[in-house]
Amino acid sequence: MRAKVVVILVALFLAGIAAADQHGVAWDSLKPEQQRVLQTFADDWANLPAERQRRLALGADRWTGMTPQERRGAKRRFKRWNKLDQGHRERIRQNYHRFQNLSPAEKRRIRDNYRRFMELRRERREELRNRWLEMTPEERQIIRDRAQQRRDAPQRRDSTPQRTDRRIHD
């Protein structure tokens, strides 16, 4: 009997969470800073889907925590995003989701490669981009396959470089 009561209470608790989850975020529950950021949505807030309300509230929270410099960068990126065609946006979303499913080691490798790429001179980055864009899909795949083979190859235990220019001593 006692176990049934506990099960019923847990079920009611979970149902309450699910119901609250479906209702989204009430405008009055937003912080004043969030309301200022989301002012353009105020009139239609109650009609927005619950998931959209949550995303907007989180975004407003992030926005209020940004420095003025970070906000300028975010505005610049948002303008660039809005200029992209729908197909390009979808490819970016797909790549993002693929990245999220990678292992931590693979994510680290990609971030390190990106960091190294961004440290190159602008001219060198443009040169590499142009070379990549001029390749056929087959040539690009060959490059990807070679890179994968290098990653899969067993790493040498001794990381000190070996001398290949042996000198003969008299």
Residue in 43, 29, 36, 27 with CA at minimum distance from that of residue 64? 36
Domain boundaries, the chain: 2-121, 122-150
Its pTM surpasses 0.85: no
The C-alpha atoms of residue 133 and residue 130 are separated, in whole angstroms, by 5
- DSSP conformational letter for 161: P
pLDDT tens-digit profile of 81-91? 999 999 999 99
- Sign of the Cα torsion 75, 80, 82, 87 reads negative
Per residue in 3-49, pLDDT tens? Answer: 554 444 444 454 444 444 567 899 999 999 999 999 999 999 999 99
